Amino acid sequence: MYETSSGLVPQTDMFDLHRLNPRGAKTRASNPQRASLRRPPKAVLFGVVLAVSAVTISAYADVGQLAARLAKLRAEVEQLSADLSAKSSESNDTLRSLARQRSELELEVRREETRLQKVSAAIAKQKAEIAEQKEKGQQVVPLLSSVVADVRKQVSASMPFRKDERLAALDKIEEQHKSGLLSATRALSRVWGFVEDELRLTRENGLYKQTVTVDGAPRLAEVARLGMVMMFYRTDDDRVGHAVHENGDWSYEEILDDKQKRAVLDLFTTFKKQVRVGYFELPNALPSITEGASK
Q: What is the pLDDT of residues 185-219, one digit of tens each?
A: 888 899 999 999 999 999 888 899 999 988 888 99
Fill in the amino acid letter for 172.
K
Structural domain contains residue 262: yes
Select from 57, 72, 87 the last residue of a domain: 72
Structural domain contains residue 227: yes
Select from 32, 53, 72 the last residue of a domain: 72
Report the SS3 class of residue 220: strand
Is the pLDDT at 23 greater than 70? The verdict is no
Share of the chain above pLDDT 90, in %: 32
Whole-number pLDDT of residue 109? 93
pLDDT band of residue 291 (cuts 50, 70, 90) is very low
**Helices 184-203 and 32-137 sit at what angle, rounded to 10 degrees?**
70
Please give the residue that has the higher pLDDT: either 62 or 226. Answer: 226
Q: Identify the helix (H) or strand (E) that includes residue 250.
A: strand 249-254
Distances (CA, A) of 54 to 40, 42, 51, 63, 70: 21, 18, 5, 14, 24
Whole-number pLDDT of residue 129? 81
How many structural domains comprise the chain? 2
Q: How far apart are the first and last CA of the chain?
A: 171
Structural domain contains residue 41: yes
Whole-number pLDDT of residue 5? 47
Select from 72, 97, 113 the last residue of a domain: 72
Structural domain contains residue 288: yes
Structural domain contains residue 145: no
Structural domain contains residue 195: no
Whole-number pLDDT of residue 11? 46
Report the SS3 class of residue 38: helix
pLDDT band of residue 162 (cuts 50, 70, 90) is very high
Structural domain contains residue 254: yes
Is the pLDDT at 24 greater than 50? The verdict is no
Is the pLDDT at 292 greater than 50? The verdict is no
Please give the residue that has the higher pLDDT: either 18 or 188. Answer: 188
Is the pLDDT at 106 greater than 80? The verdict is yes
Task: Give the domain range for residue 51.
Answer: 2-72
Beta bridge partners of 233: 223, 241
pLDDT band of residue 143 (cuts 50, 70, 90) is confident
> Can you tell me the distance from the alpha carbon of 1 to that of 7, in angstroms, rounded to the nearest whole number?
10
Report the SS3 class of residue 62: helix
